[in-house]
Amino acid sequence: MSGSGLAVGAAREVVLTDDLTRTQMVMYAGVSGDYNPLHTDERYAREAAGYPGVFAHGMLTMGLTARAVTDWVGDGRLLRYGVRFRAQVWPGDRLTARLSVREVRDEDGVPVVDLDVVTVNGDGAEVVTGYATASLA
């Protein structure tokens, strides 16, 4: 349930996808407008760009991770959300978000919660790390 259990030290683990598909990457390209063929075009990615194959938009991983955050803090409550992209995400990856409450505090008279946000792949490697702050008012 959203908003519940947001106390310091509380943590949640959410499986975002068990098997990231190329189709999901195509869906993200289509709606976001980021048609960089690195993410959808195996031939370009391998032969022209020199990668092992297509890999996910960083913003797809950030978007998938956002679901775990908003499912916890509630709708329309985010004040800040940011990530660093640590490693590439490949088709077939299993992605799991790990959220933990760093601090509950006042910000300009409004109670807020600060979360640490990490998403890991199936090998346990961090693919994004970041933070989110949400209003508790």
Count other Cβ atoms within 10 Å, centred on residue 93: 22
| Closest distance to another protein from the beta carbon of 92 (Å) | 15
Residue 76 interacting with another protein (CB under 8 A):
yes
Stretch that binds another protein, among 4-12, 52-60, 100-108, 111-119 (CB under 8 A): 52-60
* DSSP tag of 38: G
Residue 5 interacting with another protein (CB under 8 A):
no
The smaller minimum CB distance to another protein, of residues 10 and 79, is found at 79
The smaller minimum CB distance to another protein, of residues 9 and 116, is found at 116
User: How far apart, in whole angstroms, are the C-alpha atoms of residue 56 and residue 58?
Assistant: 6
| Closest distance to another protein from the beta carbon of 120 (Å) | 13
Cα separation values, 127 from 12, 31, 52, 62, 81, Å: 17, 23, 17, 10, 16
